Amino acid sequence: MSDGQARVHPYIPNSIPAVRAAMLEAVGAASVEDFYADVPASIRLGRRLDLPTPLRSEVELVRHVEGLLDRNRSTREMLSFLGAGCYPHHVPAVCDEVNGRGEFLTAYAGDPYEDHGRFQALFEYESMMAELLEMDVVNVPVYDGFQANATALRMAGRITGRLRALVPATISRDKRSKIVDYVAPDLRVDDVALDPATGLLDLEALRAALADDRAAPGSDVAAVLVENPTYLGAVETQGPEIVRLAHEAGAIAVVSVDPSTLGVLAPPAAWGADIACGDIQPLGMHQQFGGGHAGFIASHDDPRVVMEYPSRLFGIAPTAVEGEYGFGDVAYERTSFAVREEGKEWVGTAAALWGITAGVYLALMGPQGMRELGETMMARTRYAMTRLAAIPGVRVPFADQHHVKEFVVDLAGSGRTVAEVSAALVERGIFFGADVRHELPGLGAPALVCVTEIHTKADIDRLAVELEAVLR
């Protein structure tokens, strides 16, 4: 120890002074200073770090951290209708039980021989997602859905050798920001306007965008991004037509989908998607202030596409023993032979534990559970749309569309902003919907309201009553 006085720390077994002395002697070092011989004096800190006084006992630590966390109010204490990419679904107890197990929680990057269970659990995750998506290839999770979207677009760029991506103007501002930062310098991102009547993609604008620069060399469209449901909650019923138009232009159809809706919505592959992607947070992850995200990318088993995944793909393989199987990385040398090798991206630590958890979730839910989940969400969402639309000053602009778990309300008629109304509702114990004025500049005061299977009729009625009271 630098001061020789500090107590032995429970996280540091060899902080016992006698042990340290014996170890130093064993390696012939006078002090730990010997090991830092290569660190020049000019860059030595030369003082103690200026950090808060430590809370060395566990009880003090717990009191302190819990004291800070107690300044939060959770969605268990409040009635929350916030979604917008981070969703309040029920997390089955077994999900938390499994991802809390020390074996999974503290494993890392072992080989299939040490970590067979980790490999199998992630292979099974890929396999269950594959059934949900009706695609044969699914990756080990990337960081989040934003990353999955951005990478899927880059994959399309590498496959086609083209330089443009079309995305709906209604994707979230944050997701757009991530995509633009990430796909540069490979792809230019162009927006396709929404149809103000439906909130869905404007097909004429899409046709124009696809044709737009055909004359200009290097401006062919690599990928068309479709969201289903859209960020604004509507089911993109034009999906099949959008995919057809994309294919006609030689572009790849990338469909971002909320997997929790796939018990009732046809998987994008059924209407022609080439690559599906999205976020698995709805499948068994708590909201965690945005810490529960993980991204998936899926495709058909076409080697041309498989070779462009930057992520890990775990596959099943026989072993030296008859009848036994193990797992390992598929397509180990995933090298792009195309001209644009600069787009290979990287593989790193991402969100594997959430993949395992999503696998647990899907195994618990099964086919019936996923269907019932979708049916319940759709019914309650429609009920909420009906209830809120009846409130004076509230309009549900895209009520004619199909919605699974989110919808837009416009408060413009009330003369109030979303921020004002939200603040008033917090006083009444409710988190109202997300403010989406950036995504829907054409509306006065749009909010995105999320209703899932956790919201009862009574919850929705309470929202309606309180909203009406606030707007009165």
Distance of alpha carbon 261 from alpha carbon 311, whole angstroms: 25
In 108-249, where does DSSP find H-type helix? 116-133, 145-160, 173-183, 203-212, 239-248
Per CB under 8 A, which region of 159-167, 202-210, 248-256, 361-369 contacts another protein?
361-369
**How big is the chain, counted in residues?**
472
Site for another protein in 421-440 (CB under 8 A): 422-423, 426, 431, 434
Beta-carbon count within 10 A of 406 CB = 28
Beta-carbon count within 10 A of 143 CB = 18
Find where tokens 């080990």 sit.
Answer: 140
Find where tokens 């009635």 sit.
Answer: 79
Would you give the binding string for another protein spanning residues 280-319, x where CB under 8 A is met? ------xxxxxxxxx------x-x--x---x-xxxxxxxx
CB-CB contact of 300 with 136 (8 Å): yes
If one asks whether residue 80 binds another protein (CB under 8 A), the answer comes out as: yes
User: With respect to another protein, which residue has the nearer C-beta, 106 or 216?
Assistant: 106
Q: Which of 308, 146, 158, 301 is nearest to 222 (CA)?
A: 158
User: With respect to another protein, which residue has the nearer C-beta, 24 or 412?
Assistant: 24
Which residues does 334 contact at the CB level (< 8 Å), separation at least 6?
A: 306, 307, 308, 309, 310
In 185-235, where does DSSP find H-type helix? 203-212
Structure token digits, residue 40 = 């020049």
Would you give the binding string for another protein spanning residues 193-232, x where CB under 8 A is met? ----------------------------------------
Selected binder of another protein within 246, 353, 411, 449 (CB under 8 A): 353
Element (H, E) at 327: strand 325-329
Per CB under 8 A, which region of 218-226, 249-257, 338-346, 388-396 contacts another protein?
338-346
Taking the complex as a whole, the smallest distance from the CB of residue 216 to another protein amounts, in Å, to: 21
If one asks whether residue 344 binds another protein (CB under 8 A), the answer comes out as: yes
Distance of alpha carbon 177 from alpha carbon 174, whole angstroms: 5
Taking the complex as a whole, the smallest distance from the CB of residue 165 to another protein amounts, in Å, to: 16
User: With respect to another protein, which residue has the nearer C-beta, 207 or 286?
Assistant: 286
User: With respect to another protein, which residue has the nearer C-beta, 20 or 207?
Assistant: 20
Taking the complex as a whole, the smallest distance from the CB of residue 419 to another protein amounts, in Å, to: 9
Query: 392 preceded by cis ω (within 30°)?
Result: no
Taking the complex as a whole, the smallest distance from the CB of residue 388 to another protein amounts, in Å, to: 13
User: With respect to another protein, which residue has the nearer C-beta, 84 or 211?
Assistant: 84
| 3-state secondary structure (DSSP) of residue 240 | helix
Find where tokens 């992520």 sit.
Answer: 311
Taking the complex as a whole, the smallest distance from the CB of residue 214 to another protein amounts, in Å, to: 25
Structure token digits, residue 254 = 């990338």
If one asks whether residue 74 binds another protein (CB under 8 A), the answer comes out as: yes
User: With respect to another protein, which residue has the nearer C-beta, 212 or 372?
Assistant: 372
Taking the complex as a whole, the smallest distance from the CB of residue 211 to another protein amounts, in Å, to: 26
Site for another protein in 94-113 (CB under 8 A): 94, 96-98, 100-113
Per CB under 8 A, which region of 156-164, 218-226, 351-359, 464-472 contacts another protein?
351-359
- Which value, to the nearest 10 degrees, does the dihedral of the CA atoms of residues 193, 197, 203, 209 take? -20
Q: Which long-range contacts (CB under 8 A, 24 or more apart) does 416-424 make?
A: 416/445, 416/471, 417/445, 418/445, 418/446, 418/447, 421/445, 421/447, 421/467, 421/470, 421/471, 422/447, 424/470
Per CB under 8 A, which region of 117-125, 157-165, 205-213, 388-396 contacts another protein?
117-125
Element (H, E) at 462: helix 457-471
User: With respect to another protein, which residue has the nearer C-beta, 138 or 205?
Assistant: 138
Site for another protein in 365-404 (CB under 8 A): 365-376, 378-383, 386, 402-403
User: With respect to another protein, which residue has the nearer C-beta, 212 or 402?
Assistant: 402
Site for another protein in 145-174 (CB under 8 A): 145-147, 174
User: With respect to another protein, which residue has the nearer C-beta, 218 or 250?
Assistant: 218
Backbone angles phi, psi at 37, to 5 degrees: -60, -30
If one asks whether residue 335 binds another protein (CB under 8 A), the answer comes out as: yes
Selected binder of another protein within 32, 197, 465, 469 (CB under 8 A): 32
